[in-house]
Structure 1
């Protein structure tokens, strides 16, 4: 999203805990109006500190994009403690609320009727097997977005959630990503369109992205022969079926054969 904004010639204030990533982005856009801020948005105190830094900059803000990336290991809800779910909700839902409480007033102060866009991934509408903590948190974030969407109207700000129903295709996973996955650059351009919308028509609180975004990057061609890939898939299927097939009955031992009466 930062790259899409910089490529469009926009001034950007990028907030992330990834210091190296910000430094790399700044190096590749040396002549852009780009201001990196190293910060973590994980609660009320740090959200307030970020808002204070932004006020000191005294720069008008056209829009806010809140993409709080959290990672957790795969596992069942029943196999983890309730504290694990509470931690996931704190990082994926409560942190969004804290950020909105302190950044929405800044956006409203600019008077540019810009957009406040939240980003979330799959799992909020249907349970994602093995990622129950994500599905519960995403469902809560969907409702939070609907509530904040209504409350932000009083501030003259459009708040919306862009809900991605597929994983994101990036430069790092392009070789094995599926064609229906939206690209990171395409998502960035889609977010800019949402921020730029200036009309007063009613907007949706949650926008669902079920595939590639408009003007998306084309999927990268796989560097593997199709026939070889098919053969590999068939072999993987045979291996899987062999591992789950019912074992055949054991052959009778010599003792069993000797003791068994012979039919004539």
Structure 2
């Protein structure tokens, strides 16, 4: 068997929402752990920044697919993945729209419905078509990992729509955890109990807020952990966010600053 053929048969990992901040961190954590990565996201500056930052990583492949909004989108993605020679061992789903401030009582009920359609239903559509695909991977245990934020555990004043939607995604993960057990796929949600530190919020960020790479490392640790095998919801812990023995040579945060269009000295770039 040739080296190229052997490499194509090495199981890889799919990252949905790779162009987002958390998705960027998951991609970085997977690559530094030595896993081939297929990063799925919308074509645009953020995917361009991802490709540029990891240009020297032969294990990264980008798939400009667009948004998953329906069963039809997810079915089309699954069909494309089935045509690829490399099998999948895991899927990481970091999907969602930006949080909007405002009280539930001050907004029409239709806004919550729109938020659920934008942030909950894509998770269900993706899982419906990608969980069976993972079940075909012939891995001892395939993994499907969602990532949730702190607004899902307790209501955030002024961000009620995100809290309700996040809680629904959390419950979806628990249900999928049970339903996917018979498929040989472990579904889990990494619950991050603090906001993510980003270049945009760096001035106001608390010291204990994790960055995207730390969250990515914690999520990737679920692929090898056995202590959390029975838990559908796994809390983020800094203990699980340590780098592997071999890390990427480049500075990960530089790419996040480039994506945000800002400089470390606080001046906005042209």
Distance 1:200 1:92 in 2: 29
How far the C-alpha of 1:110 sits from its partner, in A, is 0.6
Aligned counterpart for 1:36 among listed residues 62, 65, 74: 62
| DSSP 3-state at the match of 2:240 | coil
Structure 1: tracts of 5 or more residues without a match: 221-264
Classify 1:162/1:18 alpha carbon distance in 2 versus 1 (closer, same or farther; 3 Å): farther
Q: Partner residue of 1:130?
A: 158
- Which stretch of structure 1 is more off in the superposition, 163-172 or 182-191? 163-172
Give the paired residue count: 216
How far the C-alpha of 1:174 sits from its partner, in A, is 3.6
Rg larger in structure: 1
How far the C-alpha of 1:161 sits from its partner, in A, is 0.7
| DSSP 3-state at the match of 2:180 | helix
Q: Is the 8 A contact 1:114 1:196 kept in 2?
A: no
How far the C-alpha of 1:193 sits from its partner, in A, is 1.1
Classify 1:75/1:172 alpha carbon distance in 2 versus 1 (closer, same or farther; 3 Å): closer
Distance 1:200 1:156 in 2: 17
Q: Partner residue of 1:64?
A: 91
Distance 2:40 2:191 in 1: 21
Are positions 1:140 and 2:168 aligned together? yes
Q: Partner residue of 2:76?
A: 49
Q: CA RMSD in A?
A: 2.1
Q: How does 1:81-160 map to 2 (within 5 A)?
A: 81-112=108-139, 113-160=141-188
Classify 1:201/1:173 alpha carbon distance in 2 versus 1 (closer, same or farther; 3 Å): closer
Distance 2:43 2:209 in 1: 25
Distance 1:64 1:94 in 2: 17
Structure with more relative contact order (C-alpha pairs < 8 Å, separation 6 or more): 2
Distance 2:224 2:67 in 1: 26
Classify 1:213/1:69 alpha carbon distance in 2 versus 1 (closer, same or farther; 3 Å): farther
Q: Partner residue of 1:73?
A: 100
Compute the TM-score of the two structures, normalised by the length of structure 1. Answer: 0.75
Q: How does 1:230-249 map to 2 (within 5 A)?
A: none
How far the C-alpha of 1:200 sits from its partner, in A, is 9.4
Q: Is the 8 A contact 1:124 1:137 kept in 2?
A: yes
Q: Partner residue of 2:10?
A: none
Q: Is the 8 A contact 1:62 1:195 kept in 2?
A: no
Q: Partner residue of 1:204?
A: 231
Are positions 1:16 and 2:41 aligned together? yes
How far the C-alpha of 1:164 sits from its partner, in A, is 1.2
Q: Is the 8 A contact 1:187 1:213 kept in 2?
A: no
Structure 2: tracts of 5 or more residues without a match: 1-25, 244-252, 254-270
- Which stretch of structure 1 is more off in the superposition, 170-179 or 62-71? 170-179
Q: Is the 8 A contact 1:168 1:183 kept in 2?
A: yes
Q: Is the 8 A contact 1:118 1:160 kept in 2?
A: yes
